[in-house]
């Protein structure tokens, strides 16, 4: 498991970290598949917060559907650019429309957040891949709304928005859909969690 390392020193640090992370959360990840376990380990590595082993939840079909989509080179859609630039070893297309002129206009017109407008724009332009939401609950609500109304195709959703207003509720709603999901229950989450989940999936494929 490279944990994002690209030099000998980086690998040594990653290997030490891997052992510490495993010792901290070993008992909590016993019932997971090896793939699910490596995803949770990478999230804890990236946040230095073992609580993520308690709050990370995946649907049974999440790993399979996500690996298939990534292996097929499907697009990855992110809510903000911090998630986009953190995914650094994907050969497929990574999209983020938060800074687009059309997003800013759409947000004003519909009186919604830019993060939500960016998702709507992606769906209207055509999308069929993996969604990674690391910041905005409003973006996750929009994904759920568009998928439910048949206006957006997604293979899986990494839904880890963060915050005290709407984040927990939006993740609970995602869990009630039939979309393959990864969430972090409660207010916690964030861009490093979304990035860790995506990079871990990519790493699983590269290690096969």
177 alpha-carbon distance from chain centroid: 16
Q: Which residues bind its own copies (CB under 8 A)?
A: 5-10, 13, 16-17, 20-21, 24, 45-49, 81-82, 84-86, 107-108, 111-114, 116, 137-138, 162-167, 186-192, 195
Nearer to its own copies, 161 or 180 (CB): 161
Nearest approach, Cβ of 8 to its own copies (angstroms)?
A: 6
Burial class (CB in 10 A: 0-12, 13-18, 19+), 178: exposed
Nearer to its own copies, 67 or 158 (CB): 158
Q: Are strands 181-184 and 56-58 parallel, antiparallel or unpaired?
A: antiparallel
Other C-beta atoms lying within 10 Å of the C-beta of residue 34: 10
Nearer to its own copies, 67 or 199 (CB): 199
For residue 130, the cross-strand partners are 76, 156
Helices 191-207, 62-71: crossing angle, 10 deg rounding:
70
Are 139 and 191 in contact, with CB atoms under 8 Å apart? no
Burial class (CB in 10 A: 0-12, 13-18, 19+), 95: middle
Nearer to its own copies, 63 or 140 (CB): 140
Q: Which two tokens stand for residue 31?
A: 């019932």
Nearer to its own copies, 63 or 174 (CB): 174
Nearest approach, Cβ of 63 to its own copies (angstroms)?
A: 24
Nearest approach, Cβ of 193 to its own copies (angstroms)?
A: 10
Catalytic residue among 45, 84, 114, 171: 45
Say whether 45 is catalytic: yes
Cα–Cα distance for residue pair 149/99, rounded to 1 Å: 25
Nearest approach, Cβ of 170 to its own copies (angstroms)?
A: 12
Nearest approach, Cβ of 18 to its own copies (angstroms)?
A: 10
Task: Give the active site residues.
Answer: 45
């Amino acid at each position: 498991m490279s944990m994002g390392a690209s030099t000998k020193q980086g690998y040594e640090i990653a290997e030490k970290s891997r052992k510490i992370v495993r010792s901290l959360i070993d008992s909590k990840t016993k019932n997971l598949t090896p793939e699910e376990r490596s995803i949770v380990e990478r999230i804890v590595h990236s946040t230095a917060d073992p609580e993520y082993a308690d709050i990370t939840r995946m649907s049974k079909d999440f790993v399979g559907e996500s690996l298939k989509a990534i292996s097929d080179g499907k697009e990855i859609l992110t809510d903000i650019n911090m998630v986009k630039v953190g995914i650094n070893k994907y050969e497929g297309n990574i999209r983020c429309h938060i800074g687009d002129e059309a997003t800013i206009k759409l947000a004003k017109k519909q009186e919604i957040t830019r993060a939500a407008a960016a998702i709507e724009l992606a769906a209207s332009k055509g999308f069929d891949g993996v969604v990674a939401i690391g910041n905005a609950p409003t973006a996750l609500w929009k994904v759920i709304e568009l998928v439910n109304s048949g206006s957006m195709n997604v293979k899986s959703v990494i839904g880890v928005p963060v915050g005290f207003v709407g984040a927990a509720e939006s993740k609970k709603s995602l869990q009630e859909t039939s979309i393959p999901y990864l969430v972090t229950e409660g207010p916690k989450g964030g861009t490093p969690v979304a990035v860790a989940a995506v990079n871990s999936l990519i790493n699983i494929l590269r290690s096969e």
